[in-house]
Structure 1
Amino acid sequence: MQLEQPTQRQSQTAGWSGTIPSAVDARVLGLVVVTAGLAASVNVPYGGLPVAIAAFVALVAGGIAVHILGERKLRRITDGLVERWVAAGGQIDDVTRSSDGMRTEWTVHTPDGEITAGGIALVPVAQLSVKWQGVGDTMAASEAEENIDALAESLYTEIFEIGSAPQQA
């Protein structure tokens, strides 16, 4: 599955292109650089400036890689959820990138409201959070990726079938 290519189910959507936008976050990268700088500065008294520079470069490279891998994992999960919802008959108007603090998120626009999917985009501790109408659930991204079919089905039932049913008084 290529995330940059539109899915084949575009005809079932109103305004969604079938692509989940990239969400590499400059704020997270800035935090990586600042943290790497602080950690590397500890090496100056003990190993000198060359060791501090080498530590800084290694920490920044590792931090950037961890963020990019985490972002790709969350994007893959979000793409998988949206693709399965469309295949099950859910109407997706658009998917846009959003942000909340240091979280990497996407907003899935539907006729029944907005669904926010995303989380912490750092691969060893990546967490997926899905929020709809003020109610959310969080789980490890690796667990969500392993159980993507069951997760998509339960969320589809909750959001598109139960959530869009008319309320009875």
Structure 2
Amino acid sequence: MQLEQQSQESRWRGTVPSALDGRVLGLVVVTAALAASLNVPYGGLPVGIVAFAVLAGGGVAVHLLGERKLRRLTDGLVERWADAGGRIEDVTKTSEGMRTEWLVHTPDGSIRIGGIALVPVSRLSVEWQGVGDTMDASEAEAELDRLAESLFEEIFEIGAATQRS
């Protein structure tokens, strides 16, 4: 089945929920506070406050941009799978560990999509039935059509054939 084929059965029309993670943001704030506190003995309290503001602001921005990139990739994959005939029931956010992840619910099981949501080192991982693959998020974004097609074949076509056997 080619990715461009349309399915008359089901068409997912939902959205991928936001995955801003308070734990990651908390870690950024605590790390910024610790790093800024090192400046207090040398530059005084004003330098420490400025250092905290710069580090915390930068860390939050890096997380927001990384989350946005991973969410865009997840949405792109799910949309392409649904357009090709994959039966998508729902997409939910998970909160295990410090990773940003979504579960794509299908009749054949859940697909876990996520990764590290820090923009300079963002990684996308896709896991289905215990088997996963990870790649750089920028590389995945550049090759989204090819990635969606190969994952569709592996998950929806091969997976459906294995489920019937």
Identity of aligned residues (%): 72
TM-superposition CA deviations, 1:86-108 (whole Å, max 9, x none) = 01100000000012210000000
Deviation (angstroms), 1:12: 2.2
Question: Comparing both chains, which one has the higher relative contact order based on Cα–Cα distances under 8 Å and sequence gaps of 6 or more?
Answer: 2
Contact 1:43 1:52 (C-alpha < 8 Å) held by counterparts: yes
Q: Distance in 2 between matches of 1:167 and 1:69?
A: 38
What 5-or-longer segments of structure 2 have no aligned partner?
1-6
Q: Distance in 2 between matches of 1:51 and 1:108?
A: 46
Deviation (angstroms), 1:167: 6.0
Deviation (angstroms), 1:166: 3.8
| Structure 1 partner of 2:115 | 119
| Structure 2 partner of 1:52 | 48
TM-superposition CA deviations, 1:12-38 (whole Å, max 9, x none) = 24xx55200000000000000000001
Cα root mean square deviation, aligned: 1.6
Deviation (angstroms), 1:168: 8.3
**1:75-86 map, 5 Å:** 75-86=71-82
TM-score (norm 2): 0.92
| Aligned-partner SS, 1:34 | helix
| Structure 1 partner of 2:147 | 151
For this pair of structures, how many residues does the alignment match? 158
What 5-or-longer segments of structure 1 have no aligned partner?
1-8
Structure 1 residue ranges, 4+ long, deviating more than 3 angstroms after superposition: 166-169
The answer as to 2:127 corresponding to 1:131 is yes
| Residue 12 (structure 1) aligned to one of 10, 13, 17 | 10
The answer as to 2:44 corresponding to 1:64 is no
TM-score (norm 1): 0.89
